[in-house]
Structure 1
Amino acid sequence: MKEPLAFRLRPQTLDDVIGQEHLVGKDKILRRLIEEKRLFSLIFFGPPGTGKTTLAKCLANELQIPYRMFNAVTGNKKELDGIFLEAKLAPGLVVIVDEVHRLNKDKQDLLLPHIEDGSIILLGATTSNPYFAINPAIRSRCQLLEVKQLTNEDIAKAITRACTHPQGLKDITIEDEAVGIIARHSNGDVRYALNILEICALASNGTITKDTVLQYSQFPNTNMDNGDDGHYDAVSAFQKSIRGSDVDAALYYLARLIQAGDMDSIERRLLVIAYEDIGLGNPAAVARVINAIDAAKRVGFPEGMIPLGVAIVDLCLSPKSKSGALAIGEAMREVQNQALPVPEYLRLTPVNLKEEDKYDYDHPEVWPQIQYLPNAIKNKHFYQPWMSSSYETQLAKNLTELRKITKFNKISQISRKTR
C-alpha cells in the first residue's frame, strides 16, 4: 500500500524544511550544529504537525549519525535494552523519542545515566509545555527548542510543493482559493494540510477546487484536545480577555471552546470569572451567569451559544472587582503560615469559661464589639475594597464604620458597657 502523502514528503535535510527560520536559518542553532558537526540532547516542543520529529531526523541524517526511534507511549524496557546494547558498541547513538513527556519514571531512570555520559543523544519531541510536562531530571540534561506554529504562507508553500514534488501528487492542479482554505483550516499543522490535500486529490477530476476542499474540510483544525496545551491556552486567554474588558476577544475564545464542544470548561471558567474577576463590582452578574449556563445546558449547542454570548458581553462590560478573591487568598496564606487556636469564647462548647465570658446569643448589639480573630493577628485586614462600583463603595463605607468599633476579647467587658 502506498504511504500517505505527508510521509512521502517528509523533509530529509534542513534545506527541505518549511518555516522554522529561527532554528534552521543562517547562523541559527540547528545550522550551527551541522556546520560544527556537533550534537547534544535536545527536546523539540510545539503544536502538532509543525515538524518536531522531522527536525530530529534531519539533524541525524545531515550529521550521518545512526538513530533509533522510540515511542514513549508504546515502547518497552526490552526495546530500551537493545538500544543501550547498541550504544555501548557505538557511543553517541541518537535516540528520537516521540511523545517524550509520556516517559514513565522507570524508563526515565533507565535513560538518564546513558544521556548523562553521552552514550545516547536524546532528541525528544512533544506537544506539551516541557516546563510542566517533562520530568526535571530529563529536562536538565537537554536543551529546549520551540518549534513554532506554521503560518498560512508556510502551509501554502507545502501544498504547492506537494503538487510538483516527484513523490507528491501526479497530474493534479489546485486553485489558489482552494490552497487558501486548506491553509486556513490546517491551523499551522502541515500534516493535516497534506492529508486534506491528498483526499481532495482522490475526489477530484484533476483540479482541486474550493468546493472540493469545503466538502472534505468543513471546519478548521483547532488543536483543542481536552488536557493539552491548546485547550489550556484558550481557557487562559478566555478569562484574561474578560478581565481586560475586551468583549470581542472574549467572544472569540468562547467560540473556540464552543466549537470544541467543551461545555464543562466553559461552565467552570465562567463561574470562576464571575466570582473572581467581577465579584463585588457587580454581584448580580453572578446570578445572571448561573442562569445563562443553565439555559445553555438545557437547550444544548448550537443554540446554547446565545445565552453564553449574552453572559460574556455582560461580564466584559461590567465593573470589575477582585477584592473578594484577593481577600480569601490573603486569609489562606495566613492560615498556611501559622495555625492559631480559636478564642475560647467563640468555640462551640467552651470549657471552664464563666457564664459572663461566653458568647452572648441574646444581645445582637454587642456582636460587632467582639474580637473574632485570634489575638496574634487581631489587627489583620484581609479584605481591601476596590471602589469599582456603587455597590462596593457602599460596602466600603460600612466597613470603615465597623472598623472604628473597639473590639474586646472578654465578653464580660462588653456586657458591662452595653447593658
Structure 2
Amino acid sequence: MINNGHVPSMLLYGEPGIGKTSIAYAIAGSSKLPFFSLNATHAGKKDVEQIVSEARLSGKVILFLDEIHRFNKLQQDTLLPHVENGSIVLIGATTENPFHDVNPAIRSRCGEILQLKRHSQEDIAQLITNALKDEERGLGKFDIAITKEQIEKIALAANGDARKALTLLESVYFASDEKEGQSIVEDHVIEHLSKRIGVYGDKGGSHFYNLLSALQKSVRGSDPNAALYYLAHLLENGDLIAVCRRLLVMAYEDIGLANSAVGAHVYAATEAAKTLGLPEARIPLANAVVEMCLSPKSNSAYSALDAAIAAIHEGKTGDIPLHLRDGHYAGSIALGHVGYQYPHDHPIGTFGGWVNQQYLPDNIADAEFYKPVIAGEEKRMAAIYEKLKSFKNNQ
C-alpha cells in the first residue's frame, strides 16, 4: 500500500523495544508525507490542534502517537474528524491490548491493527554485533574484547527487546575494566547488569493479565515448569494480591472435586504469602503451584452450576415442590407444605441417610446438570452419584 502511495491509519501493538517507533519512522520516510510525533502521556490539546492546522495547510500529514491507550477524550474529539476524512494518517503505538485499552472510536478508524512479535535471540545477537561494528551510531570506534558467548548472554537477557539489548550493551561497555586501551568484558558484569532486564509488564496492564492467563492454563495443563516460569514473571512484577486471588480461583475451578484438599492447601499458602510478603512469599506459592499442576483435575462442580444458571436464563424454571418449602410456621400445613421425608431417618449402608423424593420442580424433574469427572477423589464421588441414581430409577 505504501509503495502504491497509500498510507492507512494503523495501530502497532506489541511489547517495548520491538520496533513500533522504528516502523512508524520507516513509513514516514517512505511516504514523504509531513511527519509529526507525539506521546499521549504528556501531549495536550494544543499539540493536537497544531497538527490539525498543519494538516489543513499540507493536505495530509502522518501523526505517530505513542502510548495511544493513554489518549484522553478531549484529544480524541479534536483529532477524530480529521482521521476520519483522511487529512491525518494516524499511526498509534501501544504496549496494551488495543481491544481492551484503545478507545473504540480510534480503533474503528484504524484499518490495520498489527501485532508485532518480540525479536528472537538470534536477531538480538545480530543487532548487538552490528552495534559493535558501527562506528557512527554504535561502539565500533572503541576497542572492546567481547566473546560470541557474551553477546549471546546479552541477547538472552534482553528478552526480545532491542532497546534493552543496546542499553545493556552500552552499560556493559562502560562497566568494563580497560587494559592497554582495550575494554575487557567480564561475565559477572553482564550477569549483574542483567538481573531484572527481562521483567516487563505494568500491574493491571494487558501483559500482566496475559501472564495470569498463561499461569492458569499451564497449571490446567499440568506443566509445572511453565507454571513456575509465569509465576516468577508475575511475582517480579510485584502484584502479590492478584496472584494469590488467581491461584485460589484455580484451586476450585481447575482442581475441584478431584482433589478437594487443594482448596484448603492453596488458601493456606496464599494467606502465608500475604503474611510473609515478597520475596519470601514465593516459597508457599511455589508449593501451591506445583501441587496444583500435579493434582488430578476436575471442573465438574462449577460447570454444573454454570449449566444450572444457563437453564434459569433460558426460562427452565418451575415451582418449588410443596414438600421442600418452609414448614416452620403454623400456617405452613394449610398451605400444603407437607410430605417432606427427612433423609437422616432413612440410613442406607455406610453412606448415611437417603430417601427417594423429588427435589427439582415438576417441569425439570429429570434435569441433570452435574456430570462427574472420573479423576482423583471424584472417582469415588461419581460412583456414589451413579449408585444413588440407580436407587432412584429402581424405586
**Range into which the TM-score falls when normalised by the shorter chain:** 0.7 to 0.9
Q: Which residue of 2 aligns with 1:357?
A: 336
1:173/1:295 Cα in 2 relative to 1: closer, same or farther (>3 Å)? same
Residue pair 2:326, 2:332 contacting (<8 A) in 1 also: no
1:387/1:339 Cα in 2 relative to 1: closer, same or farther (>3 Å)? closer
Residue pair 2:319, 2:362 contacting (<8 A) in 1 also: no
Q: Which shifted more, 277-286 or 175-184? A: 175-184
1:106/1:334 Cα in 2 relative to 1: closer, same or farther (>3 Å)? farther
Q: Which residue of 2 aligns with 1:239?
A: 216
In the TM superposition, what is the alpha-carbon distance from 1:281 to its structure 2 partner?
0.6
Q: Which shifted more, 91-100 or 203-212? A: 203-212
Q: Match of 1:162, as an amino acid? A: A
1:392/1:353 Cα in 2 relative to 1: closer, same or farther (>3 Å)? same
- Are 1:219 and 2:196 matched, yes or no? yes
- Are 1:166 and 2:136 matched, yes or no? yes
Q: Match of 2:216, as an amino acid? A: Q
1:393/1:210 Cα in 2 relative to 1: closer, same or farther (>3 Å)? closer
Q: Which residue of 1 aligns with 2:301?
A: 324
- Are 1:291 and 2:278 matched, yes or no? no
Q: Which residue of 2 aligns with 1:397?
A: 383
For the residues of structure 2 that align with 1:213 and 1:313, how far apart are their CA atoms?
31
Matched position secondary structure for 2:63: strand
In the TM superposition, what is the alpha-carbon distance from 1:340 to its structure 2 partner?
4.8
Q: Which residue of 2 aligns with 1:268?
A: 245
Q: Which residue of 2 aligns with 1:14?
A: none
In the TM superposition, what is the alpha-carbon distance from 1:344 to its structure 2 partner?
7.7
Q: String of CA shifts for 1:367-396, please: whole Å, max 9, x gaps.
A: 95554434443332221111213x323322
Q: Which residue of 1 aligns with 2:365?
A: 378
Q: Which residue of 2 aligns with 1:137?
A: 105
Matched position secondary structure for 1:258: helix
Counterpart of 1:305 (choices 272, 282, 303) is 282
1:363/1:154 Cα in 2 relative to 1: closer, same or farther (>3 Å)? closer
Extract unaligned runs of 5+ from structure 1: 1-32, 408-419
Q: String of CA shifts for 1:243-301, please: whole Å, max 9, x gaps.
A: 11122222222232233334223311221111111101111122222223333344444
Q: Match of 1:83, as an amino acid? A: I
In the TM superposition, what is the alpha-carbon distance from 1:324 to its structure 2 partner?
0.9
Q: Which shifted more, 43-52 or 364-373? A: 364-373
Q: String of CA shifts for 1:166-194, please: whole Å, max 9, x gaps.
A: 03334242512332222111111111122
Matched position secondary structure for 1:113: helix
**TM-score normalised per structure 2:** 0.84
Extract unaligned runs of 5+ from structure 2: 347-353
Q: Which residue of 2 aligns with 1:52?
A: 20
For the residues of structure 1 that align with 2:307 and 2:388, how far apart are their CA atoms?
20
For the residues of structure 1 that align with 2:158 and 2:185, how far apart are their CA atoms?
16
For the residues of structure 1 that align with 2:204 and 2:47, how far apart are their CA atoms?
29
Counterpart of 2:52 (choices 77, 80, 84) is 84
For the residues of structure 2 that align with 1:289 and 1:353, how far apart are their CA atoms?
44
Residue pair 2:341, 2:355 contacting (<8 A) in 1 also: no
Q: String of CA shifts for 1:102-145, please: whole Å, max 9, x gaps.
A: 22334333333212211110111011122332233322322111
For the residues of structure 2 that align with 1:111 and 1:172, how far apart are their CA atoms?
50
In the TM superposition, what is the alpha-carbon distance from 1:75 to its structure 2 partner?
1.9
- Are 1:157 and 2:143 matched, yes or no? no
For the residues of structure 2 that align with 1:51 and 1:150, how far apart are their CA atoms?
9
1:214/1:396 Cα in 2 relative to 1: closer, same or farther (>3 Å)? closer
- Please tell me the root mean square deviation across aligned C-alpha atoms, in Å: 3.0
Residue identity over aligned pairs, in percent, reads 40
Q: String of CA shifts for 1:207-226, please: whole Å, max 9, x gaps.
A: 43323323333234221321
Matched position secondary structure for 2:190: helix
Residue pair 2:124, 2:162 contacting (<8 A) in 1 also: yes
Residue pair 1:70, 1:98 contacting (<8 A) in 2 also: yes
In the TM superposition, what is the alpha-carbon distance from 1:362 to its structure 2 partner?
8.5
For the residues of structure 2 that align with 1:353 and 1:303, how far apart are their CA atoms?
58
1:112/1:341 Cα in 2 relative to 1: closer, same or farther (>3 Å)? farther
Matched position secondary structure for 2:3: helix
Aligned length: 375
1:283/1:400 Cα in 2 relative to 1: closer, same or farther (>3 Å)? same
**TM-score normalised per structure 1:** 0.79
1:171/1:266 Cα in 2 relative to 1: closer, same or farther (>3 Å)? same
In the TM superposition, what is the alpha-carbon distance from 1:343 to its structure 2 partner?
2.9
For the residues of structure 1 that align with 2:95 and 2:390, how far apart are their CA atoms?
56
Residue pair 1:175, 1:210 contacting (<8 A) in 2 also: no
Counterpart of 1:175 (choices 146, 152, 157) is 146
Q: Which residue of 2 aligns with 1:148?
A: 117
In the TM superposition, what is the alpha-carbon distance from 1:52 to its structure 2 partner?
0.3
Q: Match of 1:173, as an amino acid? A: I
Matched position secondary structure for 1:250: helix
1:140/1:286 Cα in 2 relative to 1: closer, same or farther (>3 Å)? same
Matched position secondary structure for 1:35: coil
- Are 1:249 and 2:226 matched, yes or no? yes
Q: Which shifted more, 43-52 or 126-135? A: 126-135
In the TM superposition, what is the alpha-carbon distance from 1:156 to its structure 2 partner?
1.9
